[in-house]
Amino acid sequence: MKIARIEVFELVAPLEKPWRIATYELKSLLATLVRIHSDDGLTGIGECIVRLGPGATRAVVEEVLAPVVIGRDGFDIEGIWDDMYRTMRARGHSRGYLLEAISGIDIALWDLLGKKLGLPVAKLLAGHGRRELPAYASSILLDTPAVMAGEAQRLAAEGYGAIKMKVGGGRKADIARMDAVRQAVGADVEVMLDANSGYDAPTAIAVRQHAEKLGVFWLEEPVMPDDFPGYRRIRNALKGVRLAAGEGEFTVSGFRSLLEEGLLDVLQPDIARAGGFTGCRRIAALADAYNVAIAPHTGASGPVCIAASLHFAAATPRFLTFEHMYIHNPLHEILARPLPQPKSGKIAVPTAPGLGIELDENAVKRFLRKGPEL
């Protein structure tokens, strides 16, 4: 099974109402899709995470990585991954758009292999064989305490046993939000906080102190991803609330540094940023060695990333919980059939070959990016 050609699609979905988080607002949701064709007529679909500049990801796929991949044996995924990574590493590019582009290609290669062998990717990974996953509702966006509490109460009534809320809007305001949400859902529902790197270390420590009193499950991304001294200060100040992060990290070596320093309780690699299945399997092996849990990040990504994350979570050791973004994402309309939805706090893993998804080609055309605006 030789790789014959690669297609790339830039997608954009404007939002009716922006998603407000601590460090920015999302007015549109973006994705770069990769479709790989084999010489025996099969195709595999992948997704590269995109927050800005989908054209940059496309250029890396088409101009840097496609020449490395085309003509290769589609079974040699690990070797292809290593060759893609080596292409720019010695030139000082080992993260960012390069890793996001590698991720999309790698996901597509695993989808292709699953279709070739007639097996879902979760089975190809030969891991834990989970058929359904515990899932938490993500995320209650920044708003007034009353609005956020009402949303939390609604989600708890729908059967979610764990809910993530956005913070990072200031210490006093966030404490009021936390109090309102905890009062609304009671003590039996787990509450996670996601600051989206909106704090400095002293503010994060103060918020974490109050979160400990409320029995908060984790504090996610309190400071910028590369602020290791900040994480160390937060880690050393208190032990009562788990620290979670990793969506902003790209490489195995980056996650290794986080683990070696003992900075986190929960790793959150994003399969569309941290090297696809191949990269995330290596990260998961490290986490297992350090006895640290894995909770894959999905966030505002498209449905191909979500499907891939389900398969990764089903197979990986130390898996903790799955992020289900309950807020409507228009990009999910590109699938011919919708992804599984949580029932009573559990979400099923797709069982069809590969990722178990199929694109609606007409819907893909509707979301194709027309120009450089965003």
135/263 same-domain check: yes
Q: What integer pLDDT is reported at residue 95 of this predicted model?
A: 86
**Strand locations in the chain (E):** 3-20, 25-38, 43-50, 132-140, 162-166, 190-194, 218-220, 242-245, 266-267, 293-294, 322-325, 346-348
Token pair for 302:
């498209």
Nearest partner of 81 among 306, 255, 276, judged by Cα: 276
Mean pLDDT, residues 278-306 taken together: 97
The pLDDT mean for the chain works out to: 95
What is the C-alpha to C-alpha distance for residues 185 and 322, in angstroms, rounded to an integer?
Answer: 20
Per-residue confidence (pLDDT) for residue 48, from 0 to 100: 98
Residues annotated as catalytic (active site), given as ranges:
297
355 domain residue, yes or no: no
Rounded Cα distance, 296 and 285, in Å: 14
Same domain, 81 and 206: no
CA distance 181 to 188: 12
Write down the residue that tokens 């039996």 correspond to: 188
- The pLDDT score that the predictor gives to residue 371 is 57
Clarify whether residues 106 and 139 are in a common domain.
no
Whether pLDDT at 374 is above 80: no
Asked if the structure places residue 76 within a domain, the reply is yes
The rounded percent of the chain whose pLDDT value lies above 90 is 91
One-letter amino acid for residue 24 of the chain:
Y
Q: Are residues 159 and 73 in the same domain?
A: no
Mean pLDDT of the 225-230 span? 95
With respect to residue 373, please indicate whether it lies within any of the assigned structural domains.
no
Instruction: Let me know if residue 353 belongs to a domain.
Output: no
Instruction: Provide the domain count of the chain.
Output: 2
Buried b / exposed e over 3-31, threshold 16 CB at 10 Å, is bbebebbbbbbebeeebebbeeeeebbbb
pLDDT digits (tens, 9 = 90+) for 5-47: 999 999 999 999 999 898 888 999 999 999 999 999 999 999 9
Determine, yes or no, domain membership for 67. yes
What CATH number is attached to the domain comprising 105?
3.30.390.10
97 pLDDT band (50/70/90 cuts)?
very high
Q: CA triplet 64, 253, 111: central angle to 5 degrees?
A: 55
Helix (H) or strand (E) holding 99: helix 96-117
Angle CA 74–79–82, to nearest 5: 130
User: What are the residues whose beta carbons fall under 8 Å from the beta carbon of 329, sequence distance 6 or more?
Assistant: 13, 29, 300, 302, 303
Q: For residue 355, is pLDDT > 70? A: yes
Q: Do 190 and 337 belong to one domain?
A: yes
- Does residue 89 sit in the same domain as residue 234? no
Q: Do 115 and 244 sit in the same domain of this protein?
A: no
Is 191 in contact with 181 (CB distance < 8 Å)?
Answer: yes
- Residue (of 292, 155, 295) closest to 220 by Cα position: 295
Q: Which of 360, 270, 365, 326 is nearest to 154 (CA)?
A: 326
Longest CA–CA span in the chain (Å) reads: 60
Q: Is residue 20 part of a domain?
A: yes
pLDDT at 3 over 90: yes
Same domain, 301 and 344: yes
Instruction: Give the CATH number for residue 233.
Output: 3.20.20.120
Where in the sequence is the domain holding 100, given as residue range(s)? 3-119+360-367
- 178 and 290 co-located in one domain: yes
92: pLDDT confidence band, cut at 50, 70 and 90?
A: confident
Three-state secondary structure call for residue 94 = coil
162 and 262 share one domain? yes
Query: What single DSSP character describes residue 142?
Result: S
pLDDT tens, position by position, 128-178: 999 999 999 999 999 999 999 999 999 999 999 999 999 999 999 999 999
| pLDDT value at residue 84 | 97
Residue 374 belongs to a domain: no
Same-domain status, 313 and 209: yes
Helices (H), strands (E): how many in the chain? Answer: 13, 12
* Average pLDDT estimate for 189-213: 96
